[in-house]
Amino acid sequence: MNRPLQVTVLGATGSIGLSTLDVVARHPQHYQAFALTAFSRIAELRALCQRHAPRYAVVADAEQARALQAQLLADGLQTRVLVGEGGLSEVAVHPEVDVVMAAIVGAAGLRPTLSAVQADKRVLLANKEALVMSGALFMQALRDSAAVLLPIDSEHNAIFQCLPGNYSNGLTKVGVRRILLTASGGPFRELPVERLAAVTPEQACAHPNWSMGRKISVDSASMMNKGLELIEACWLFDARPDQVEVVVHPQSVIHSMVDYIDGSVLAQLGNPDMRTPIAHALAWPERIDSGVSPLDLLQIGQLEFRAPDEQRFPCLRLARQAAEQCGTAPAMLNAANEIAVEAFLQGRIRFTEIASIIESVLERQASVAVRCLEDVLAADEQARRLAMGWLDGRGC
């Protein structure tokens, strides 16, 4: 009998991490948690270790590691606790690991995700920021490796499911006219524009259809999430930005579509629950139960579609510009956004200032060509510095 596939979950305590472990636990003969990592919420990581008995746990600093190691020993577990970036990379490339779920939020996930690709793993990519930052290098590393990359973002997972197996020959060659990237429009789709400046982090994090981490929730509210996804789609499917059209679809039932030159449009539908793309990517090319309830179209009744409003959501325009500019522009966009979203969550800036900060950084920092990872990391660092300068001087 085959042994269960060994799964490392980077960002195990997050929304995607927990959904992944939920699917893994439904199939103990096929999947086993090998390593679980967390940056905070260490008590939750301990509880996950008790439930999944992984070989390794990874935390951010040595003190956390010592405390958790003592607790796990007292729990009678043999889990070894590792620390920091070194620990993340170790569990991403470990020879016994088959699958790596990349579910750390933000730029912090880039190195371990890239390491997993270079180590020929099956990489389940939720961490879109890693790909947005380093797209060209990331996709080159993928081509140079025997790794398999499967998109977890529901839209990209849907597109992947609607494309033929040989899509990497080029979208035009396989008859694709364009990709239709659906967006819910977030919690502020209908809010009068003049009230956007006064919305709170709690309102921004209350997404109408999906339950997610706080950073991606704010990104969804500003539609920067769709902007990052546009860049992600360009890299994953080798599409030009003008081949990706954003369509607002408030019900989040169609997760995206592919429009072919013969007039066929293929869509993937499902309830908005991330366990579907996670189960798809874990089992691909087979199918397994994800625990998601069947879609009840009669209950849903209507599906609506609208054009996105770039006046209301300037982040979408900024992301499209960065996608067209290429070079280090997407890394700068992402870094400025991470600083701005954190500042908004801390109550330091207004919601509408997120776009102002990003625009100011992109105006002040020139995009340059990317030759190596250091170019990306330098652009990321400079954009963070500029964004923090904006916060200190409030716009100066």
Contact flag: residue 21 with ligand NAD (CB under 6 A): no
Judged by CB under 6 A, the stretch of 64-72, 126-134, 334-342, 344-352 that binds ligand NAD is 126-134
| Order of strands across the sheet that contains 99-102 | 80-83, 56-59, 31-37, 5-10, 99-102, 122-125, 148-151
Report the residue from 151, 213, 270, 308 that binds ligand NAD according to the rule CB under 6 A: 213
Contact flag: residue 219 with Mg ion (CB under 5 A): no
Give the nearest distance from C-beta 393 to ligand NAD in angstroms. 26
**C-alpha pair distances (Å), 365 with each of 24, 104, 308, 315, 382:** 43, 27, 27, 17, 8
25: left (phi over 0), alpha (psi -120 to 50) or beta: alpha
Q: Closer CB to ligand NAD, residue 335 or residue 360?
A: 335
Residues of span 229-268 touching ligand NAD by CB under 6 A: none
14 binds, among Mg ion, ligand NAD, none (CB under 5 to 8 A by kind): ligand NAD
Q: Give 186's strand partners.
A: none
d(CA 308, CA 40): 36
Residues of span 266-295 touching ligand NAD by CB under 6 A: 274
Q: Is 224 in contact with 351 (CB distance < 8 Å)?
A: no
**Which two structure tokens, joined as six digits, stand for 90?**
């170790």
Q: Is 147 in contact with 116 (CB distance < 8 Å)?
A: yes
Contact flag: residue 104 with ligand NAD (CB under 6 A): yes
Residue least distant from ligand NAD (Cβ): 14
Contact flag: residue 153 with Mg ion (CB under 5 A): yes
115 binds, among Mg ion, ligand NAD, none (CB under 5 to 8 A by kind): none
Phi, psi dihedrals of residue 181, rounded to the nearest 5°: -95, 115
Contact flag: residue 210 with ligand NAD (CB under 6 A): yes
Report the residue from 90, 153, 259, 273 that binds ligand NAD according to the rule CB under 6 A: 153
129 binds, among Mg ion, ligand NAD, none (CB under 5 to 8 A by kind): ligand NAD
Q: Give 245's strand partners.
A: 180
Give the nearest distance from C-beta 126 to ligand NAD in angstroms. 3
Torsion, CA 127, CA 129, CA 131, CA 132, rounded to 10: 150
Judged by CB under 6 A, the stretch of 132-140, 207-215, 244-252, 279-287 that binds ligand NAD is 207-215
Judged by CB under 5 A, the stretch of 78-86, 153-161, 321-329, 386-394 that binds Mg ion is 153-161
Report the residue from 3, 28, 40, 381 that binds ligand NAD according to the rule CB under 6 A: 40
- What is the amino acid identity at position 96? E
Give the nearest distance from C-beta 385 to Mg ion in angstroms. 29
Handedness of CA 193, 197, 198, 201 (dihedral sign): positive
Contact flag: residue 126 with ligand NAD (CB under 6 A): yes
Report the residue from 6, 7, 8, 15 that binds ligand NAD according to the rule CB under 6 A: 15
Q: Is 305 in contact with 248 (CB distance < 8 Å)?
A: yes
Report the residue from 35, 65, 108, 357 that binds ligand NAD according to the rule CB under 6 A: 108
**C-alpha pair distances (Å), 168 with each of 49, 157, 164, 222, 235:** 39, 15, 9, 31, 11
Judged by CB under 6 A, the stretch of 34-42, 252-260, 295-303, 338-346 that binds ligand NAD is 34-42
Q: 4: helix, coil or strand? A: coil
Nearest to 228 by CA among 338, 306, 137, 118: 338
270 binds, among ligand NAD, Mg ion, none (CB under 5 to 8 A by kind): none
- Measure CA 347 to chain center: 24
Give the nearest distance from C-beta 138 to Mg ion in angstroms. 18
Which residues here bind Mg ion, judged by CB under 5 A? 153-155
Which residues here bind ligand NAD, judged by CB under 6 A? 11-17, 38-40, 103-105, 108, 126-129, 153, 210, 212-213, 215-216, 274
